[in-house]
Amino acid sequence: MSSRSLLRRVALTAAVLAGPVGWVTRAAWGLPTALGAHRRWLRPVVAGSPHFSGGKFHNTLETPALAPANTRDGLLRQWHDQRHVGLPGAPIPLATSEFPADAAELAVTWLGHASALIEIDGQRVLADPVWGFRVSPSPVFGPTRLHPAPVPLEDLPQVDVVLISHDHYDHLDLPTVRELLRTQTAPFVVPLGIGQHLRKWHVPEDRIVELDWDQSHTIGGLTLTCTEARHFSGRYFYRDTTLWASWAITGTRHRVFFGGDTGYTPAFAGIGARFGPFDLTLLPIGAYNDAWHAIHMDPEEAMRAHGDLGGRVLLPIHWATFNLAFHRWAEPVQRLLAAAGRVGATVVVPLPGQRIDVLDPPELGDWWTAVGSAEAPPEGVHGSGPGGALLVRAATRLLRIGG
């Protein structure tokens, strides 16, 4: 082969590889930072917890996080073939709310998914803030937003505390944490171990409060109690090295329960007895599937938990913003309202960005029916491009880790 022919072949090979190599490089950009603290960093912080043994945290109840091994191939096929089912049928409407200069007695602004700004007894609690476009360690693959953030993060008023339920990407978002460091001064109150993620991301020590289940921290007139949840943790490589939690937020006059992400657990009744009754519960209703029934509540279980907690008003979270399961987009809220009707419960379903006065809740307005659910996959959703293939391989890796 002549030197000219060899050069042409090398050039052609480089051109063919440039696209995939560039894509992989972009997909991996920032990955080590986004993954958070290594388990070696976590062990000194978490090892003393009574819920930590054998190198990881455990639920009180035995809790399989995923389907048995013999059903995982089917789950992966469902992941690939049915992931379009959770898409909305039309653009999701947003609301623009004005925040008062002073926090109210009891109000809440749902900001999409599990993110909410809670006003209680004149203080503000920002729960599970996620403003990122993609809930993934990579800028290239992973679930993306189904609607924009309803308010720019820098337009939020100053908050008194940032509350985190666990370290999954749709609840603990690195870009959001970085922006909160710039725009806010409030401490992060987090379950045990998550402080190590924050320290890696240069959050100052005096802005980190880590708690185990049943431990409390007081800020102003609010007591924040880390309460039990039934879930798991991990930012890809290792599971259950940080704690997951729900939160009881108690003031001198009002009480709020924030569920974060959890399967149903009888522990809710005990939480209600000790810290309730709650004027407001924020409970997850979406991303349910038989394969992870123990770690994600369905809408009927959320209603049951609301009753266990002694809840007065229920605001559903963990739906509408990201396509994380295989149910239809509007199904969670439809099922929830049917369950609420059977027991006469009060439910508020704000638009993303809408502020609700919990002491004088508005009449329920049906905005989700007009949005509806996608009937068919968008063009190209079954394509075999590198993003889709890598997503399925990543899912396979996660399933194996769960075994």
Amino acid at 333: V
State residue 196 phi and psi, 5-degree precision: -70, -35
30: left (phi over 0), alpha (psi -120 to 50) or beta: left
Angle at 83 between CA 299 and CA 174, to 5 degrees: 80
Write the DSSP symbol of residue 51. T
Which residues, 6+ apart, have CB-to-CB distance to 237 below 8 Å? 35, 401
Residue 328 to residues 188, 314, 317, 368, 375, Cα–Cα distance (Å): 34, 21, 16, 12, 9
Selection from 195, 193, 192 nearest residue 177 by Cα: 195
Residue 47 parent element (H or E): none
Selection from 249, 273, 274, 270 nearest residue 259 by Cα: 249
Q: What is the pLDDT of residues 297-348, one digit of tens each?
A: 999 999 999 999 999 999 999 999 999 988 999 999 999 999 999 999 999 9
Q: How many helices (H) and strands (E) does the chain have?
A: 11, 16
Q: Give alpha helix (H) positions in 161-242.
A: 174-183, 194-200
Q: What is the pLDDT of residues 346-394, one digit of tens each?
A: 999 999 999 999 999 999 999 999 999 886 554 544 433 334 444 444 4
Is the pTM of the predicted complex or chain greater than 0.85?
yes
Q: Which residues of the chain have pLDDT under 50?
A: 3, 6-7, 10-30, 69-72, 74-75, 378, 380-403
Quick check: 278 and 251 in contact, CB under 8 A? no
